[in-house]
Structure 1
Amino acid sequence: MSTALGAAGELAIRSLIERAPLASSLAAAFKAQGFTLALVGGPVRDAILGRLGNDLDFTTNAPPQESKKILSTWAEHIWETGIEFGTVAGKRGDTTVEVTTYRSETYDPRSRKPEVQYGKDINGDLSRRDFTVNAMALELTSEKPEFLDPFNGLIDLSKKLLRTPSSAEQSFSDDPLRMMRAARFASQLDFEIAPDVLVAMKSMTDRISIISAERVRDEFVKILMSQNPRTGITLLVETGLAAIVLPEIPKLQLEIDEHHHHKDVYEHSLTVLEQAIALEHRLDGPNLVSRLAALLHDIGKPKTRALIDGGGVSFHHHEVVGARLAVTRLKALHFDNHTIEAVETLIALHLRFHGYGDGEWSDSAVRRYVRDAGELLTHLHVLTRADCTTRNAKKAQRLAATYNSLENRIAVLMEQEELSKIRPDLDGAQIMQILDIKPSAAVGRALDFLMEIRLERGPIGEEAATKELLAWWKTNS
């Protein structure tokens, strides 16, 4: 072991002992049964970087069923959802571990599922890892912990470079999702991608289509939730991967001619995403819904783009079209319904603020804004403010001041009228009693009528609401 490797190994071991003391007892449990155990992959990389977490990955020569038996005696909880792929997981205290039998996995060109073959030694296992910085290991069951780095991952880690242990073409054939993972690590770790790896990504984009929507979604989310999602998204677009997994984003690179000038919608969307991230303190930290809405808020523009006589471009109703496109894409990626509905609402509402000029907001308009945003009101504040990307300082200041005024108006009405709980002055039971009717569609229409009054005029009280209801009923019964 070289001096550099020895120092790195010592750092990783020290970090492991300090941050994950249970790993030693797990290694002892495997050793007692005659098996090896090594910390591997991202945790080793993170241990060297001094950022080891509580999720640890191990590799072993123990067959999956043997790993399950050992984990059953060591962990407080175990689960075997990945056992057919050689992985058994467990949790003890705050530490979650995944133990995988030495393996190599490859994809048949026509199949979404990997073909798993178990290996006999750790070097073979490491050779089939995604990147060299993830192909380092700490052997914990030898006489003393040993740092293994057969593919010079430590050097690449110092260079902040992503290379593959085998050829990039072989690595991406084994698992095409690694192409998206390269973009993810570039975003998360601020790494560069080696030229040969980048070439392979561009030439093998079609392979990503065999990967399940769930796996693609999970990698995309990790990119989006990283500290610098622009890097990963740009790589997805430039390599052509986005054209397959998220085609609405590269389509934002609208053709610009010399007679009809407009903003670069693609760059604008990335800027809005970054500005939304800068405002996430209002949402108590990183927020997936906010980031999705920011990135996708203008995806309706390509379909609504129209050239205006004499110069200029319009995108009428792009928020409506964009909301619909977002639903279709997020469903295709198997996002949950709550996330899809929230993103749809935000995109559909993101232009509402700009429809009121320089702040001529009536109380009715404010109530409707709050009612339509619902529990997403703060998300909408973030998106609307982030959507201001003008380089005109005076215009930016004016927009910010106008939105400050709107938020202040909302705060005042919130205090006066409990806007977060907007409802008619009469409920369904009262309506049926006053009109002497049974449960029916008419009750719903009456509630809608009273809600319109509530939005237009604010709370008017039960007596006035009853008079309005009776007058309406005379002409609508």
Structure 2
Amino acid sequence: MQRNLAAELDRLAPLLEELGALFTGSGHELALVGGPVRDAMLGRAHHDLDLTTSARPDETEELLGRWAGTTWDMGRAFGTIGCRKGPWQVEVTTYRSESYDATSRKPEVAFGDSLEGDLGRRDFSVNAMAVMLPGREVVDPFGGVIDLAQGLLRTPGRPEDSFGDDPLRMMRAARFAAQLGFAVRDDVQEAMTQMAERIDIVSAERVRDELVKLVDAPFPRRGLTLLVDTGLAERVLPELPALRLERDEHHRHKDVYEHSLTVLEQAIELEERLPGDGPDRVSRWAALLHDIGKPRTRRFADDGTVTFHHHDVVGAKMTRKRLKALRFANDDIEAISHLVELHLRFHGYGSGEWTDSAVRRYVRDAGDQLARLHVLTRADCTTRNQRKADRLRRTYDDLEARIDRLAAAEELDAMRPDLDGNQIMALLDIGPGRVVGEAYRYLLELRMEHGPLGEERATAELRAWWASQAEGGAGR
């Protein structure tokens, strides 16, 4: 960790040494603090740098303005002034001491006089380390280096005091467990369990942000398990612990909770199939929530078998409701809910009995989520029966190959009838209205059933449909 820190400080030297000299030359202390120090010790680079200082905000603003030219002060109420220097985003915060109202997580901010006092108010010891600038002295009054080496999350003081001041820190414990792969010390987990109801005073948006970062992390199972084991999940994502269904005496169904976490991990392994870099949020949340309809739909038949009929449809509605409560973006809500609703569709494929029209409908229904549906469907296989797993994989390989062949021949990604709305109106000599939509849907169904018709056949089919409408009294 010492080598990692030295290497990162060498990389940042042109920036930090200049900035450190500027502040110390004006009679102030300046230190790199928190996440950048922790991650530097772990060998992870940062471009967003957090620093703390003895200077008051007005003094910080003047010094940063002299150094970077442009500053921003949206965090002035909390003592924070920001600036950008080349590719670096820098935020400098005055030493703070804080007190909290028990009914709110918003602190009453008072500026402090010492670095150690500032570090003592931070969430975890691994985030309560600093490097003085420009001299590079490591300040670690709470043993963060040891905890970092042991992979342990511990609060600088009593966890009850820390979580009582800011309940969101309980969510941050789960998030850091997922991001860093760390364990949480027993007293921290016990305090989280005893104080879980305190999370109710935190806004849905702040809870959502922590959950998103947790699920986007490399080890989401660690964080999610901690939330469930401490009872926090009951208050922020109750559908997850609800998956821990009481097993029937004959174990006729798999553990839905463990299955869902495994599907999430397998979806992460398959993300390389998706465009873009980094975590795919929609795919991960769809994997986590795909079976949340099972508790509401579980039924025991007379012969002892267990069914979950329509849990895909029920689960989609539940997903939409929960994500709305967490203030997710509308586009994400629709995409995730859509995937949950579609996640069983493949299992009607059998061993390849679908007609081409059924394959076209599969593509049409998936829409722009087809690549993610491929990932979710593959991830949803958690059987330990290797022969069954291989058969499912081969079958889905076959379906994807058929989709690719049809796509190459028929442009499935732009599934439209052979005639557009303007052509329909011209051929039928009608204006815009309901009938145009009905004709369009009729031609689209023909396109699904038979593939591309060509303009000549589509025209004949449209005229025949129009004549039948007139004969039935539904035409002009």
Q: TM-score, normalised by structure 2?
A: 0.94
Aligned partners of 1:164 and 1:320: how far apart in 2? 43
1:423 corresponds to which residue?
416
1:319–1:348: 8 Å Cα contact kept in structure 2?
A: yes
**Larger displacement relative to structure 2 (431-440 or 145-154):** 145-154
Percent identity reads: 61
1:245 corresponds to which residue?
236
Aligned partners of 2:271 and 2:170: how far apart in 1? 29
Asked if 1:451 corresponds to 2:448, the answer is no
Aligned partners of 2:341 and 2:61: how far apart in 1? 49
Which structure 2 residues correspond to residues 113-262 of structure 1 after superposition, within 5 A? 113-140=106-133, 144-259=135-250, 261-262=252-253
Which structure 2 residues correspond to residues 397-416 of structure 1 after superposition, within 5 A? 397-416=390-409
Deviation at 1:53, TM superposition (A): 1.4
Aligned partners of 2:55 and 2:435: how far apart in 1? 69
Asked if 1:82 corresponds to 2:75, the answer is yes
Aligned partners of 1:89 and 1:349: how far apart in 2? 45
1:322-370 Cα offsets, whole Å, 9 max, x none, are 1111111111111111111110111111111002222211111111111
1:19–1:52: 8 Å Cα contact kept in structure 2?
A: no
Among candidates 451, 461, 469, match of residue 462 of structure 2: 469
Aligned partners of 1:323 and 1:51: how far apart in 2? 38
Distance 1:379-1:464 versus aligned 2 partners, 3 A rule: same
Deviation at 1:90, TM superposition (A): 2.1
Asked if 1:341 corresponds to 2:339, the answer is no
1:213-240 Cα offsets, whole Å, 9 max, x none, are 2221111112111111111110010011
Asked if 1:379 corresponds to 2:372, the answer is yes
1:390 corresponds to which residue?
383
1:137–1:148: 8 Å Cα contact kept in structure 2?
A: yes
Aligned partners of 1:38 and 1:218: how far apart in 2? 27
Q: Which aligned runs of 4 or more in structure 1 are off by greater than 6 angstroms?
A: none
Distance 1:46-1:259 versus aligned 2 partners, 3 A rule: closer
2:314 corresponds to which residue?
321
1:43–1:56: 8 Å Cα contact kept in structure 2?
A: yes
Aligned residue type for 2:272: H
Deviation at 1:31, TM superposition (A): 2.9
1:71 corresponds to which residue?
64
Aligned partners of 1:386 and 1:227: how far apart in 2? 17
1:286-332 Cα offsets, whole Å, 9 max, x none, are 21111000000001111111111111111111111111111111111
1:104–1:128: 8 Å Cα contact kept in structure 2?
A: yes
**Larger displacement relative to structure 2 (326-335 or 380-389):** 326-335
Aligned residue type for 1:458: G
1:130–1:165: 8 Å Cα contact kept in structure 2?
A: yes
Aligned residue type for 1:221: V
Aligned partners of 2:12 and 2:449: how far apart in 1? 59
Distance 1:358-1:11 versus aligned 2 partners, 3 A rule: closer
1:20–1:95: 8 Å Cα contact kept in structure 2?
A: no
Deviation at 1:14, TM superposition (A): 4.3
**Larger displacement relative to structure 2 (58-67 or 211-220):** 58-67
Q: TM-score, normalised by structure 1?
A: 0.94
Aligned partners of 2:309 and 2:13: how far apart in 1? 56
1:267 corresponds to which residue?
258
**Larger displacement relative to structure 2 (70-79 or 273-282):** 70-79
Aligned partners of 1:357 and 1:390: how far apart in 2? 17
Cα RMSD after superposing both structures: 1.7
1:38-66 Cα offsets, whole Å, 9 max, x none, are 11111111122222311111111222233
Aligned residue type for 1:148: V
Aligned partners of 2:386 and 2:5: how far apart in 1? 49
Asked if 1:278 corresponds to 2:262, the answer is no
Aligned partners of 1:424 and 1:14: how far apart in 2? 61
Distance 1:13-1:77 versus aligned 2 partners, 3 A rule: farther
Asked if 1:359 corresponds to 2:352, the answer is yes
1:3 corresponds to which residue?
none
Distance 1:228-1:312 versus aligned 2 partners, 3 A rule: same
1:19–1:54: 8 Å Cα contact kept in structure 2?
A: no
Distance 1:231-1:22 versus aligned 2 partners, 3 A rule: same
- Secondary structure of the residue aligned to 2:249 is coil
1:16–1:52: 8 Å Cα contact kept in structure 2?
A: no
Aligned residue type for 2:318: L
Aligned partners of 1:12 and 1:362: how far apart in 2? 60
Aligned partners of 1:372 and 1:65: how far apart in 2? 57
Aligned partners of 2:70 and 2:185: how far apart in 1? 40
Aligned partners of 1:341 and 1:319: how far apart in 2? 14
Distance 1:106-1:384 versus aligned 2 partners, 3 A rule: farther
Distance 1:362-1:73 versus aligned 2 partners, 3 A rule: farther
1:59–1:100: 8 Å Cα contact kept in structure 2?
A: yes
- Secondary structure of the residue aligned to 1:443 is helix
**Larger displacement relative to structure 2 (245-254 or 86-95):** 86-95
Deviation at 1:24, TM superposition (A): 2.1
1:66-101 Cα offsets, whole Å, 9 max, x none, are 323333333365433322222222222221122112
1:221-265 Cα offsets, whole Å, 9 max, x none, are 121111111111100100111111111100000111214621110
Distance 1:105-1:318 versus aligned 2 partners, 3 A rule: farther
Aligned partners of 1:437 and 1:26: how far apart in 2? 73
1:260–1:312: 8 Å Cα contact kept in structure 2?
A: no
2:105–2:167: 8 Å Cα contact kept in structure 1?
A: no
1:2-52 Cα offsets, whole Å, 9 max, x none, are xxxxx94x7535422214631222223333443221111111111222223
- Secondary structure of the residue aligned to 2:138 is strand
Aligned partners of 1:307 and 1:181: how far apart in 2? 40
Deviation at 1:403, TM superposition (A): 0.5
